[in-house]
Structure 1
Amino acid sequence: MKYTSKLKALFVLVLLAVTTLQAQPKKQKIDGVAAVVGDYVVLDSDIDLMMIELRANGISSADVTRCELLGKLLEDRLYAHHAVQDSLVVTDEEVRSYMDEQLSVMVEQIGSMDKVVKYYNKKNVDDFKNYFFDIIKMNKLVQAMNRKIVDDIEITPEEVRNFFNKIPKDEIPTIGSEVEIAQIVIKPIVSEEEKQKVIKKLREIKQDVLENGSSFTTKAVLYTEDRASAPNGGYYKINKKTQFVKEFKDVAFTLEEGEISEPFETIYGFHIIKVEKILGQEIELRHILMSPKVSDESLAEAKTRIENIRAKILNKELTFSEAAKSFSEDKETKNNGGIILNPKTLEPKFELTKMDPSLYNEISELQTNEISRVILDEIPGEGKFFKIITVNEKTQEHPADFSKDFLKIKEIALKDKQITAIGKWTKEKIAQTYIKINGEYRDCVFASDWLKKEIK
């Protein structure tokens, strides 16, 4: 989708905000204070670091000035300062928990904690952790303040219409080619014998940890089939509102600290959980997920079932939607006729240029209402299954139409309204906040009036 110049500025802003942490550059001069915003400072090295982050993320820095980067850093400090002033809470425990997760990923990628410390040019582990802690806490304060500014902003249909009518004709957004797709999923039946093999293995792991002092974390790295948590030794921090399946939470919240559950089953397979800490309403735990293996005979039987379903649809005995409701074994799509929701928008539309490549390859050659061949697929932790896919609707790239593309126009209009609110908030807070710009940066031309409070 193409956007107006004002909206493009939003995406540049977001992109700069989410750049990842990279190694400190070798400084050619003593690190100085470029600016002060409330209780926060911006160092020369912070601007150097941001420039390196842009390049490391494949973003050309040729047209980005140090003044522009300083402006973004000033905004972050302004958010963080007023988050503290407004008593927005980011607990040290929350920061440490997130930091531990990120450190686990870093160690997995680089090789050891010592290498991480060296990579980031810090004196020792404590020095690096203090540095990383401060960065994470400030970023979380920035996010909390940003949410406070925009979360309650709503937009009416009339406001959306007025926004759309004011867009010059040559700047009307272009909506990319989109598809609505549906699927029918058939899963092979897992034998009781295979289930018992997995249960036995999980019990052996539990016994080894309890009786021989083996590390549950190491066991999780070696055996769990949950790829998301494997690098962290099966670690999760959850509360009762966390979006985990009910069976998992039911077991987790019955355990005491240090206790390991018996094997139990969810839609993903069999688990054991070890609770490490109970922190009020939250639990820190590790788990191991293992799935029973599917026999060749069971796979063949499942393939035959879905081929028969496909034949009935082709023979007009059933519509695709009726077949999905009657036979599909995918709980998320079964009841709405197999329609797949876009996980990014929660709408039944996928923009072709932004689709997951594997899904795009499966539907790119399909015409509307055509049914795919039988596809063998696999989801880690859930196992293999067969599916057929159809394209319910295709729309070609076109200029945005108010009636047909209302939801997308509403999204753009809401972002525009949020930008306006952020701009108003920023202007007010700059006037209320102690801000000092130093040295060469006093000559910068900023989008916001950061020099207004400068003390001569």
Structure 2
Amino acid sequence: MKKKISLLLLPLLWVMGFSAKAQDIVADKIIAKVDDYIILKSDLELAYQSFLQSGDKLPGDARCGIFREMIINKVLVAKAEIDSVLVEENAIDRELDQRLRYMVETYGGDPDKIAQYLGKSLEQIAEELREPIREQMTVQKMRSEVTKDLKVTPSEVRKFFKNIPKDSIPLFPAEYEVGVLIKNPIANKAEKERVREQLLSFKRQVEAGEADFASLATLHSEDLGSASKGGDLGFHDRGELVPEYEAASFALEAGAISEPIESQFGYHLIQLLERRGNLYRTRHILMRPKPSEEDIKTTELLMDSLRQVIIENPADFQKIAVKHTDDKGSRANSAMIANPNTGSTKLLAEEMDFTAFQVVDKMKVGEVSPPLRFRTGDGKDAIRILYFKNKIEPHVANLEQDYEKIQQAALSDKRNQVLNDWFLDAIKEIYIDIAPEYDYCGILQGL
């Protein structure tokens, strides 16, 4: 049967429906098959409930729009398998670790509260999240592969903007440009030694046959992504992990355990599981020394001194921040907070993290905040100074002020068309079957 589809670039709302209660999930039934992949009715209902809770809007029937996106994602995953487009396990581990840390923070930093509310341990949640995350990252990688060389010329940008009906030209809200200087408090020697001794104790227990390395990793490792797998990081090639970790791993015999190794992530206790030439498989227990209140206050005093220098020389903020920051991301962006969607330095209020916006919203352009405590994405305590560089007032979109955004919109439009054309070709290689009761969505009509 010939059918047609338009490609939507919606977020994956359905990765894990943690907010849904078990009694709300409808009985499972296969409602679509895409090659070897299936979509269950409960998958769709969980995604739909998540969409309703998000407050977002979709044109037409939202349930059909979400169902269409789920089918498209399955096609992308199926085609990735055909084309051997794979996501590395360490990338999945990092994403899983970040999501688990966010969940722990949401529940007040207590994993037991998560288990109490959801009826699942953190390890069970990690196991359930791994494959949906793999699928999401595979979808993102496939989309990136299809459109990786896509560009728009200035004439294409102007043409795109000219073709927008006058009554549809958007009114852009206020935008902010904010600089940031970040320092990570350094734990004192006594705390570092405590962590080292704890890891050495684990090593002695395993070597004496009193404990199992994997069990200790599950219980104690602060790398939440690998902890759910007994600390197993899978196979890696040279250059993929931090140098200190790699060097210690290659110095081990299979089954042997390292001394505690320090890296930018904390202290690792490493066990080599297997080596095949330059490929090696390890598991580890990661523990991070925790800065004391005194350590944090010492960093705050340093940051306050830097703030005074910046106040006296505001034009030199970026130069000072790039020199002193501990954050590689902002250093690479000339000490400016990058827009997570476009990579530019212009941010809508909702594109800043909430606590940063609360501070900036009370500042005047050119002002520098006092040192502020916050938690980084990987769960570390840190101190930051914010510099309110510029504010662009609300205005009707125009090429002079908004070229970057219009360029991104033109590129997105071109990307959608390329992805749609790619999909129409890809679907010829892939079997798709949709349950009759969902034919009303018209997802594949006309092909």
Question: TM-score, normalised on structure 2?
Answer: 0.71
How far does residue 138 in structure 1 lie from its aligned partner after superposition?
Answer: 7.5
> How far apart are the structure 1 equivalents of 2:189 and 2:181?
25
Task: Give 3-state SS (helix, strand or coil) of 1:405's partner.
Answer: helix
Q: Which residue of structure 2 lines up, in the alignment, with residue 53 of structure 1?
A: 47
Q: Which residue of structure 1 lines up, in the alignment, with residue 286 of structure 2?
A: 288
Q: Which residue of structure 2 lines up, in the alignment, with residue 124 of structure 1?
A: none
Q: Which residue of structure 2 lines up, in the alignment, with residue 355 of structure 1?
A: 352
Deviations 1:138-187 (A, max 9, x none): 87776665455333433333322222221112222444322222233455
Q: Which residue of structure 2 lines up, in the alignment, with residue 420 of structure 1?
A: 417
Q: Is the 8 A contact 1:176 1:353 kept in 2?
A: no
Q: Is the 8 A contact 1:225 1:381 kept in 2?
A: no
> How far apart are the structure 1 equivalents of 2:135 and 2:305?
57
How far does residue 50 in structure 1 lie from its aligned partner after superposition?
Answer: 0.9
> How far apart are the structure 2 equivalents of 1:226 and 1:79?
30
Relative to structure 1, is the Cα distance of residues 385 and 65 closer, same or farther in structure 2, using a 3 angstrom cutoff?
Answer: closer
Whether 2:427 is the aligned partner of 1:446: answer: no
Q: Which residue of structure 1 lines up, in the alignment, with residue 338 of structure 2?
A: 341
Which AA in structure 1 matches 2:442? F
Q: Which residue of structure 1 lines up, in the alignment, with residue 385 of structure 2?
A: 388
> How far apart are the structure 2 equivalents of 1:335 and 1:293?
26
Q: Is the 8 A contact 1:34 1:438 kept in 2?
A: yes
How far does residue 368 in structure 1 lie from its aligned partner after superposition?
Answer: 0.9
Which AA in structure 2 matches 1:207? R
The equivalences for 1:305-384 within 5 A come to: 305-316=302-313, 319-325=316-322, 327-333=324-330, 338-379=335-376, 384=381
Unaligned runs of 5+ in 1: 1-7, 121-127
CA radius of gyration, larger in: 1
Task: Give 3-state SS (helix, strand or coil) of 1:350's partner.
Answer: coil
> How far apart are the structure 2 equivalents of 1:267 and 1:382?
13
> How far apart are the structure 1 equivalents of 2:133 and 2:323?
49
Q: CA RMSD in A?
A: 4.8
State, as a whole percentage, how many aligned pairs show the same letter.
25
The equivalences for 1:112-261 within 5 A come to: 146-186=143-183, 190-226=187-223, 233-237=230-234, 239-240=236-237, 245-261=242-258
Deviations 1:2-28 (A, max 9, x none): xxxxxx9834x4446757598695559
> How far apart are the structure 2 equivalents of 1:385 and 1:75?
40
Q: Is the 8 A contact 1:47 1:69 kept in 2?
A: no
Which AA in structure 2 matches 1:446? G
Relative to structure 1, is the Cα distance of residues 311 and 88 closer, same or farther in structure 2, using a 3 angstrom cutoff?
Answer: closer
Q: Which residue of structure 1 lines up, in the alignment, with residue 84 of structure 2?
A: 88
> How far apart are the structure 2 equivalents of 1:159 and 1:397?
25
Q: Which residue of structure 2 lines up, in the alignment, with residue 3 of structure 1?
A: none
> How far apart are the structure 1 equivalents of 2:194 and 2:328?
26
Q: Is the 8 A contact 2:368 2:386 kept in 1?
A: yes
Which AA in structure 2 matches 1:416? D
Deviations 1:200-231 (A, max 9, x none): 23212211222133133443354444456556
> How far apart are the structure 2 equivalents of 1:51 and 1:176?
34
Task: Give 3-state SS (helix, strand or coil) of 2:255's partner.
Answer: coil
Relative to structure 1, is the Cα distance of residues 68 and 369 closer, same or farther in structure 2, using a 3 angstrom cutoff?
Answer: closer
How far does residue 413 in structure 1 lie from its aligned partner after superposition?
Answer: 1.6
Relative to structure 1, is the Cα distance of residues 160 and 143 closer, same or farther in structure 2, using a 3 angstrom cutoff?
Answer: same
How far does residue 369 in structure 1 lie from its aligned partner after superposition?
Answer: 1.0
Relative to structure 1, is the Cα distance of residues 35 and 191 closer, same or farther in structure 2, using a 3 angstrom cutoff?
Answer: closer
Deviations 1:236-288 (A, max 9, x none): 44634887544334434544443322112223432222344557746352332
Unaligned runs of 5+ in 2: 1-5, 104-110
Q: Which residue of structure 1 lines up, in the alignment, with residue 397 of structure 2?
A: 400
Moved more, 212-221 or 53-62: 53-62
Deviations 1:36-89 (A, max 9, x none): 66x45868xx345413431145368997377666655554555455555x5435
The equivalences for 1:70-109 within 5 A come to: 71-72=68-69, 74-76=71-73, 78-79=75-76, 82=79, 86-88=82-84
> How far apart are the structure 2 equivalents of 1:323 and 1:136?
38
> How far apart are the structure 2 equivalents of 1:348 and 1:272?
39
Q: Is the 8 A contact 1:371 1:390 kept in 2?
A: yes
Task: Give 3-state SS (helix, strand or coil) of 2:401's partner.
Answer: coil
Q: Is the 8 A contact 1:369 1:390 kept in 2?
A: yes
> How far apart are the structure 1 equivalents of 2:209 and 2:329?
42
Relative to structure 1, is the Cα distance of residues 336 and 438 closer, same or farther in structure 2, using a 3 angstrom cutoff?
Answer: closer
> How far apart are the structure 1 equivalents of 2:317 and 2:68?
54
Q: Is the 8 A contact 2:270 2:282 kept in 1?
A: no
Q: Is the 8 A contact 1:90 1:137 kept in 2?
A: no
Q: Which residue of structure 1 lines up, in the alignment, with residue 108 of structure 2?
A: none
Deviations 1:367-395 (A, max 9, x none): 11111123244558786554322111112
> How far apart are the structure 1 equivalents of 2:145 and 2:269?
39
* Number of matched pairs: 416
Q: Which residue of structure 1 lines up, in the alignment, with residue 260 of structure 2?
A: 263
Q: Is the 8 A contact 1:203 1:262 kept in 2?
A: yes
Task: Give 3-state SS (helix, strand or coil) of 2:335's partner.
Answer: coil
Q: Is the 8 A contact 2:26 2:42 kept in 1?
A: no
Which AA in structure 1 matches 2:47? E
